[in-house]
Amino acid sequence: MWTDYFKLIRLKPGKVITFLCGEVDFSKPNLSLEVLKELWESDFPYLQITELGKKELYGVPENNSEKPDKFETPEKPKLVKVGLKRSGSKKNSV
């Protein structure tokens, strides 16, 4: 079932006309994964890939929900004062 791999967002399941694949009926449980993968790769705004989809279709390992023991923040850069050199006194000569 395609809903194990992709999630429909901001739309109710039903017929949608897409630029890439024409009419796609998202209420059917037997949609082609190749069609959905093609829509996903073309940034179709109403599909979201699931963790299982990432793993099975793209080989991405599942996201571990374990938090790291210690989170180190990067050091802040040191500020350096930069001044403009002033030349001696300015006199308007006419």
- Amino acid 27: pLDDT: 92
Give 26-33 contacts, CB < 8 A, sequence gap 24+: 29/1, 29/2, 29/3, 30/1, 30/2, 31/2, 32/2, 33/2, 33/5, 33/57
For residues 8 and 88, give the distance between their C-alpha atoms in angstroms, rounded to a whole number: 70
Instruction: Please state the pTM of the whole predicted model.
Output: 0.60
Q: Is the pLDDT of residue 2 over 70?
A: yes
pLDDT (0 to 100) of residue 56: 87
Give the domain ranges of the chain. 2-58
36-40, 60-64, 88-92: the lowest-pLDDT one: 88-92
Longest CA span, the chain: 89
* pLDDT mean across residues, the chain: 80
pLDDT of residue 75: 72
